[in-house]
Amino acid sequence: MAFADLLDRIGGVGTFQILHSLLLAFPVCMVACHNFLQNFTAAFPRHHCEPKPGLNGTEGLSYQDILRVTVPTNEMGHPARCLRFKEAQWNLLNFSSSLMANISELETETCVDGWVYDKSVIRSSIITEWDLVCDLRSMRQMAQSVYMVGVLLGGAIFGGLSDRFGRRTVLIWSYMQMSVAGSLVAFLPNFPCYVFFRLISGMTFSSVLLNTLCLMLEWMPVKGRTLAGTFIGYVFTSGQMVLSGLAYAIRDWRWLQFSVTAPFYLFFIYSWFLQESGRWLILNGKTDQALTNLRRVARMNGRHEEGLKLSKEEVVKEMEKEISNRKSSHTILDLFRTPGMRRITACLMMVWFSTSFAYYGLAMDLQKFGISIYLVQFCFGAIDVPAKFVAALTMSYVGRRVTQGTFLILAGAMIIANIFVPVDMRVLRTALGALGKGFCASAFMCAYLYSGELFPTEIRQTGMGFSDMNARVGSVVAPVIHLIGDHIPILPAVIFGTAPVLSGIAAICLLTETCNQPLTDTIKEVEERRLKLIWIKEDERKMELALLSPIPDPLKDTV
């Protein structure tokens, strides 16, 4: 009997599981806000060079006239962002077409006296505070990449720590770390400090998600795990929509940063009342504490008498199989030792990398769509609701392999299609972008389930961790690709679109279907299943050749 059977005895999905899941869900909503926060705290407002101070002859002129004689215009007719005239060009006030045609020949200089920012929409951001424009424009993407490096490091570091010290202990630490790091991001005065503590926040993002899922699922009976996983997915989606409302209401980046951080002080306080995973306690020899926790859960679920019947010896005996399985150890190298595992691992590396790569390529560049970033953020969050529902249906009725590949191909197609949509068709561009992001979300949802079914039990956690690491690498690389757009505008969309299309094709052609199939427990079983499929295909090929070969004519042979 496994730990899940113990949970069924003390109430199954009862009051404890519901309350426990709700308490764990609120922080997930807020870490989702942190994940997409830089869309607003690092938003680019319209800007132009500060006119040269001390100009003579500006008395009686409007500010627009002063701009016309001091700052050149771009192809859209707006003041140039990074250049101004060395000398005031008073003749431009005449609006002569011949003079306007020669503007490009006039001598210019960089914005040596700073910039003027349009604060009608973006009142304050790290861009306006530290002048991260023109030559420093790439600092914005660098900051986002550093945050994603933190997410990558957090998964690697806190995953091992939670296995060693417990899910609850690391989760409590993570809430405190997010509280402190997020507050310091909001109030420290310079950009290097901002980048460093965003890195720490990124590490916490991984820890909160990882340990929340572990703690929730390890207290959930089998029949409630699918619902619990779906619930957390939708909580993360709701966080993206909550962020759009908060950002719309709070236009100062420092107070917005603090507003999504402050709830973690409350989470830190009530996290002390969470129960450590009973399964983890038993597997780590802390049976007395596990028994105490199980009895508390039984009491909350109205099964107090059943909880009292549990004994230390009974709990250990019923967990013997899981304890013995824990003693076997595997490394990442085992993912590549055999042909079958190499194929699975290589394909899933592509799937996870390209899904995350395209997802963050779309989700972290909202201003390119040309409409309100608050509305785009809300739409990009809302699209995940139907997208994940459709993914759940197709995984059940069509199959994992086709679902995984099709959603990746559709995501890439939406991104590439946007290349051919004129810039002024903003609604259509936004709709295609939202669909692309929704398809990526569907592919993500499928990847979590499909990967867990493809990897055998003895190396499943190692495989899932390695796959997640590839996804984090994709999220680190995505902001860097946006920098290419400053030189070749079309190239980022081509790269972001091509990657999921290629990985989708690879998934359909090279991976095997797992829907309604028993899970493999060992690497040996994976290889046996691969050889069996090869034999089946070989038999099918021989039958096709036999059917296509001409039938001998007995009369002709007689003659």
pLDDT (tens digit, 9 = 90+) per residue, 525-544? 888 887 877 766 666 666 66
Which band of pLDDT confidence, cut at 50, 70 and 90, is reported for residue 27?
very high
Across the chain, mean pLDDT equals 84
281 and 264 Cβ atoms separated by less than 8 Å: no
Q: How far apart are alpha carbons 49 and 85 in whole angstroms?
A: 10
pTM: 0.84
Mean pLDDT (whole number) for 399-403: 90
pLDDT greater at residue 381 or residue 228: 381
CATH 1.20.1250.20 spans which residues of the chain?
1-29+130-327, 329-559
pLDDT (tens digit, 9 = 90+) per residue, 99-109? 454 566 678 88
Mean pLDDT (whole number) for 427-451: 90
pLDDT (tens digit, 9 = 90+) per residue, 269-285? 999 988 888 888 887 77
pLDDT of residue 98: 46
Which band of pLDDT confidence, cut at 50, 70 and 90, is reported for residue 34?
very high
Q: 372-398 as b/e, with b when 16 or more CB fall inside 10 Å?
A: bbbebbbbbbbbbbebbebbbebbeee
Tell me which range, 47-61, 156-170, 181-195, 313-327, is most confidently predicted by mean pLDDT.
181-195
Residue 296 has pLDDT above 80, yes or no: yes
438 and 387 Cβ atoms separated by less than 8 Å: yes
As its CATH architecture, domain 329-559 has Up-down Bundle (1.20)
Residue 375 has pLDDT above 60, yes or no: yes
What fold, for 1-29+130-327? Answer: Growth Hormone; Chain: A; (1.20.1250)
CA atoms within 13 A on the CB side of 26: 17
pLDDT of residue 559: 46
Residue 408 has pLDDT above 50, yes or no: yes
Which band of pLDDT confidence, cut at 50, 70 and 90, is reported for residue 382?
very high
Q: Is 79 helix (H, G, I), strand (E, B) or coil?
A: strand
pLDDT of residue 423: 84
Lowest mean pLDDT among 58-62, 71-75, 202-206: 58-62
Residue 318 has pLDDT above 80, yes or no: no
Q: How far apart are alpha carbons 129 and 192 in whole angstroms?
A: 13
